[in-house]
A and B are shown apart, each in its own frame.
Chain A
């Protein structure tokens, strides 16, 4: 199996004027192409920090990160932004839709920053069809239910056809029915070949994924 994500001895320390907090320490992890990986652990153990480092939203204090075999730790901000745009899709617990944009414009956001994206509106419409919201294109986030908002967020994550989807507690703000719908969508995407890494507190959801890793106090627990 092809390794698409490889973390070597990743550490992350948050430093303020008075204290240093070790969020992650010595994390080694490999994720294969098409794998659905769950990250579990108690609150504050570093799950989201790890996801953010994998997603290039945050930089590790030390250690190496390779995506698709490419060493990314030393990339400049602009290069990281481009890499994120082309290869990664994000789904957040609180959706992070832009409230002043309607559904289709929200979905088009990643394409705005990609050259030669083609017909952006058409691609966004296709992504919305995939999540079953093609009839809601002109609605604004405030007019959507939590489940619908998260489906829009998933459409936004996949519109640019990234290979890896990073989901940070995607069902954390949803009821069980909506959670089920979102998980079905994520499994569907995984079945299409997407690599998915999901942070979750839900053991049942984690059990349904290919692999579960546990974090405790910034360490990987086997």
Chain B
């Protein structure tokens, strides 16, 4: 109570500090919100296990390239060569499983597409929205290799990897999408309505449900549909493709990539196919992210936040430092009449924390008015894709409280540093000297 009274008595000299703190709390909110959301988004699970994954890019000789064998370019021989490459990789020591990606199959791939299936409960349209689309290939251990788990009530991933979802119109969906369309029900056996290429609408049955995966980092969507990519193997000879390899363990993964490349450069030459590159899945995700410009955007956010933080620290610490040093004579008087060093430090710290707290609450309420009209930071959400992650970011109240708490702690930390050091110094100054400083 005495601290509040002291603040009130000092109101003329601290009003500008109060105003400064209100402005700082609002600005810190503006800067901290996107950073907090970006960090939270980055910490969301991917839904697949990329720790032990490497990607081998298998290229195909051009018809005019030296060594091209026209005899092996027929559809049958070409397909057999693809199978041979995959078999060689599966037999390589330390490889657990291998799957193939001929495009649109890998989470994190920039090329993945969006679809807008409608929920057709016996031809009744209930939801329209965008979901991510992935293509897999039957018999290639797709779900096991990527580490995607099947959901409760769904066939196992081993069974799902064998599911030919192209005929008769079956798909595999993520649990989140199932819950969105059929809340509280097992989605297996339910039907979608999809528009086919010829413009006709037809039903598609859910053959299985797997746990959600993120379409692309850092997007938050977990809604996806997996189609069996029938058209790739059967239409024409395969050219470049990716072999996704799950290693038995993640130790020395970079070295293993080099060893695999050294071996594969010779041993994987099959027909017109050869090994072009090998990289870890993490590198692949990083490259994808770079191509979208995500790291630059994040870096810009972090740099801005860092720059602001440095200024915040210097500004607030400096202000409170000066304000505390200004009271040296008063502290001398108080010490003469019995105040110990601890009570001097405690008094100044308490007063400044109360002042900063009142200013922060005022600033937060001001920002609240703005946020009510303009919303809070949403993070990276796919345009039109379902955002089904039920976390603090999408709940206005929770979001506001969490970011406010972060901002408050930051500012209070600065106030404590800006007060504690000079207050301790002031409390140690000789009483006679402090009294003289007033004369």
Q: Which one of A78, A82, A90, A101 contacts B336 once the chains associate, using CB atoms below 8 Å?
A: A90
In this complex, how many residues of chain B approach chain A with their Cβ under 8 Å: the count is: 26
CB-nearest residue of chain B relative to A101? Answer: B9
CB-nearest residue of chain B relative to A92? Answer: B435
CA distance A58 to B336 in the complex (A): 10
| B317 CB, min distance to chain A CBs, angstroms | 23
Indicate whether A109 sits within 8 Å of B334 (C-beta atoms), given known contacts A58-B430, A58-B431, A96-B438: yes
Determine whether the beta carbon of A96 is less than 8 Å from that of B333. Answer: yes
* Dominant secondary structure of chain B at its interface with chain A: helix
Indicate whether A105 sits within 8 Å of B337 (C-beta atoms), given known contacts A58-B430, A92-B435, A96-B438: no
Q: Which one of B9, B13, B341, B431 contacts A78 once the chains associate, using CB atoms below 8 Å?
A: B341
Determine whether the beta carbon of A81 is less than 8 Å from that of B338. Answer: yes
Chain B CB within 8 A of A100 CB:
yes
In this complex, how many residues of chain A approach chain B with their Cβ under 8 Å: the count is: 29
Max chain B C-beta neighbours (<10 A), residue from A78, A90, A96: A96
| B16 CB, min distance to chain A CBs, angstroms | 15
CA distance A62 to B406 in the complex (A): 53
Chain A CB within 8 A of B343 CB:
yes
CB-nearest residue of chain B relative to A114? Answer: B338
CA distance A110 to B431 in the complex (A): 15
Max chain A C-beta neighbours (<10 A), residue from B2, B9, B338, B340: B338
Determine whether the beta carbon of B9 is less than 8 Å from that of A102. Answer: yes
Q: Which residues of B contact A85 (CB under 8 A)?
A: 337-338
Determine whether the beta carbon of A84 is less than 8 Å from that of B343. Answer: no
CB-nearest residue of chain A relative to B10? Answer: A100
Determine whether the beta carbon of B338 is less than 8 Å from that of A113. Answer: yes
CA distance A8 to B332 in the complex (A): 27
Binary per-residue interface labels of chain A (90-121) against chain B in the complex, 1 for a CB within 8 Å, 0 otherwise: 10111011101110010001101110000000
A to B contact number (C-beta, < 8 Å): 69
Chain B CB within 8 A of A156 CB:
yes
Interface residues of A in 158-194 (CB under 8 A from B): 160
Chain A CB within 8 A of B439 CB:
yes
Q: Which residues of B contact A78 (CB under 8 A)?
A: 340-342
Interface residues of B in 337-392 (CB under 8 A from A): 337-343
Interface residues of B in 386-439 (CB under 8 A from A): 430-432, 435, 438-439
Indicate whether A110 sits within 8 Å of B341 (C-beta atoms), given known contacts A92-B435, A94-B439, A100-B9: no
| B334 CB, min distance to chain A CBs, angstroms | 6
CB-nearest residue of chain B relative to A90? Answer: B336
Chain B CB within 8 A of A2 CB:
no
Indicate whether A113 sits within 8 Å of B333 (C-beta atoms), given known contacts A58-B430, A58-B431, A100-B10: no
| B191 CB, min distance to chain A CBs, angstroms | 76
CB-nearest residue of chain A relative to B7? Answer: A100
| A13 CB, min distance to chain B CBs, angstroms | 14
CA distance A93 to B439 in the complex (A): 9
| B423 CB, min distance to chain A CBs, angstroms | 15
Q: Which one of B9, B338, B341, B438 contacts A105 once the chains associate, using CB atoms below 8 Å?
A: B9
CA distance A85 to B343 in the complex (A): 13
Beyond A97-B333, A114-B338, 7 additional contacts (C-beta under 8 Å) are A81-B339, A94-B439, A96-B435, A98-B330, A98-B334, A100-B10, A109-B337
Can you list 25 A-B pairs with a CB-CB distance of less than 8 A?
A52-B432, A57-B435, A58-B430, A58-B432, A77-B341, A78-B340, A81-B335, A81-B339, A81-B340, A82-B340, A84-B336, A85-B337, A85-B338, A94-B438, A94-B439, A96-B333, A96-B336, A100-B9, A101-B9, A105-B9, A109-B333, A110-B337, A112-B339, A113-B337, A114-B338
Top 8 A-B pairs ranked by shortest CB distance?
A: A85-B338, A113-B338, A110-B337, A100-B9, A81-B340, A78-B340, A57-B431, A100-B10
